[in-house]
Structure formats: C-alpha cells, structure tokens
Amino acid sequence: MSYDYFFFARPADGSPPKLETLGQDVVPLGSPDEVMKGIDAVFPALAWQPPQGAIRAWFGNGKCGQAEFLMSAETNGLVTSFKAAYIEREEVDALAAQMRLTVFDPQSGECYAP
C-alpha cells in the first residue's frame, strides 16, 4: 500500500505548523535542482526524470518498492512543495529534519515538523 506525504517549508516565524496555514504565504523550498540535491542527501540512489511533454513535474525513484518523489516548479521556477510515496515514517522524519521541512500526512490529517 502506498502511503503519501507532502513536504513544505517550515513556518518562517518558528511557530508550529498547522494544516490551515500551509497554503498561506507559501515559502519556496528552492529551485528544482536545490530541492533534488536536498532529497538526494537522504536518498542518494534516486534517479530523476525531468519534465517531459505535457507532464511538468520531476519524478525521482530508486529500485522497486523504494521511495518515490514528485515535484514541480511554480511559474517563478521555484518549488513550494513536493510529494513522497512508498516511504516509511522514519524516512519521512529523517528527510524533513535534514531539509528543515513541515510534513503533511493526508491519510491522518497530521501536520508536523520533526
């Protein structure tokens, strides 16, 4: 079963992340290359596929059954969030801590920053 998570910047004011404020004043995570570099630091075996044709997203995956990532840039060229699938909670927490991100778990509705 695939379990998805979404990653966003932590609140700039240091307050605890809240679901109702995730869409407000979204802070960019960086360029696609910067975000891929951050993800690769925790998941070094990923292969990234750039956007192709009508698909405007980068897709990163490793071996079958390993974590997969999907991200796209806004019109300004910056990424504001990305999605991970086939990822364990411990991996989610490690990635979020390494990149200083907020995590949204749509299955439970939980929003947190490890």
How many domains in the chain?
1
- DSSP labels, 27-82: PP-B-HHHHHHHHHHH-TT-EEE--BTTB--EEEE-STTS-EEEE---TTS-B-EE
Q: What is the pLDDT of residues 75-105, one digit of tens each?
A: 999 999 999 999 999 999 999 999 999 999 9
User: Is residue 2, in this structure, part of any structural domain at all?
Assistant: no
User: Is residue 99, in this structure, part of any structural domain at all?
Assistant: yes
- Say whether pLDDT at 2 is over 70: no
User: Is residue 97, in this structure, part of any structural domain at all?
Assistant: yes
User: Is residue 3, in this structure, part of any structural domain at all?
Assistant: no
User: Is residue 9, in this structure, part of any structural domain at all?
Assistant: no
User: Is residue 21, in this structure, part of any structural domain at all?
Assistant: no
Question: Band of the pLDDT at 67, cuts 50, 70, 90?
Answer: very high
User: Average of pLDDT values for 17-38?
Assistant: 83
Q: 78 is in which domain, residue-wise?
A: 27-108
Q: Which residue has the tokens 């990532």?
A: 69
User: Is residue 66, in this structure, part of any structural domain at all?
Assistant: yes
